Amino acid sequence: MGKFSVFSVFLVSILVAHCTSQVSAADTCKFPAIFNFGDANSDTGAFAAWFFGNPPFFGQSFFGGSAGRVSDGRLLIDFMATKLGLPFLHPYMDSLGADFAHGANFAEILSTIALPPANNIIPGVRPPRGLNPINLDIQVAQFAQFINRSQTIRQRGGVFKKFMPKAKYFSQALYTIDMGQIDITQLFLNNKTDEEIKAAVPALIASLSSNIKIIYSLGARSFWIHNLGPNGCLPILLTLAPVPDSQLDSAGCAKRYNDLTQYFNTELKKGVDQLRKDLPLAAFTYVDVYTAKYSLYQEPAKYGFTHPLETCCGFGGRYNYGEFSLCGSTITVNGTQRTVGPCANPAEYINYEGQTYTQAADQITFNKIASGKLSDPPNSLKKACRRA
């Protein structure tokens, strides 16, 4: 708590007292806001705002053009906001037209749980090898700053007051976390052994838990935590770190990568269980996104996917993906320059650009997790708040 202001501590005491009386009697949670932490799976525009921007066809299926998301349309976090009757989350790092009245998004593309990278840092090293210096520690520090500054702005009054959340929202909000994919896939891309990867996981879970405790100390009481999806099905890994066909499962995914991803998920589940013991006044919903997403690869035809393992927006090779032919890049083919653009119908693809999902895939995934059937405890999205 030493790195946060006295104002934060004072604010927390007010928020928690207010929260306890508000949600305990309700059958359905009344979340007035969402605060999200994560990577590309939930970044709604932070990376685009302060790094490279996005091509105009990112967002084409819903927004009609670039909307800061590495997808053709909405992400899981967008579907969650709509389900709760809230507007889409504005990214904290985007200063243009910002409205944080009902929450803020701290997620960043290529962001990690681990410490900020010492090398291969964006923008010096471009994706997919480059890493974002804004890791989870910094996202949480940004959130702490956001609490103080937003309430200072509200107290001043004036035109900007309405764009800031009310103080009581910080304890009543839903806190969503979807992170770790980059940490694990980077280990795969760096050819780490199974033993090395498993040895790295405890520190990642410890860092995640430590940051959740900081968020809790700042007033949060309701947490919705996603595990990792099936990384062994991602075109980036199947292309840049290929395995023999004999090591692909029946869905065409790399079994080793999925097994190690599931190892992370098992340890994450243990970490969440421990958080429940350490923070008994909070509600933790562990959401099995892995099962929801992997089912798309197991039965692609059932969901209308005709290209389950290829990228919609890419070029080259078995999986329509290449490290130097990323979505939106300019390449030369047979002596002619062209821009790598999207497929004709993104709804036929699970993956959008190599690491992230299409709107169609995210919508189906959301429908699977929102009911609570894949969660522990089996809370639906609207019943994930803390109760007395």
pLDDT tens, N- to C-terminus, the chain (388 residues):
445 543 444 344 444 444 433 344 347 899 999 999 999 999 999 999 988 777 788 999 999 988 999 999 999 999 999 999 999 999 999 988 899 999 999 999 999 999 888 888 988 888 888 899 999 999 999 999 999 999 999 999 999 999 999 999 999 999 999 999 999 999 999 999 999 999 999 999 999 999 999 999 999 999 999 999 999 999 999 999 999 999 999 999 999 999 999 999 999 999 999 999 999 999 999 999 999 999 999 999 999 999 999 999 999 999 999 999 999 999 999 999 999 999 999 999 999 999 999 999 999 999 999 999 999 999 999 999 977 5
The two structure tokens encoding residue 199: 């040895």
Is 15 part of a structural domain of the chain?
A: yes
Is 177 part of a structural domain of the chain?
A: yes
| Count: domains in the chain | 1
Is 245 part of a structural domain of the chain?
A: yes
Is 238 part of a structural domain of the chain?
A: yes
* Domain housing 243: 6-302+361-383
Is 377 part of a structural domain of the chain?
A: yes
Is 321 part of a structural domain of the chain?
A: no
Is 307 part of a structural domain of the chain?
A: no
Sequence-ordered list of residues with C-beta below 8 angstroms from that of 349, at least 6 positions apart, any chain = 305, 307, 308, 310, 311, 312, 343, 358, 360, 361
pTM of the predicted model as reported, rounded to 2 decimal places? 0.92
Range 341-364 burial, b when 16+ CB lie within 10 A, else e: bbbeebbbbbbbbbbbbbbbbbbb
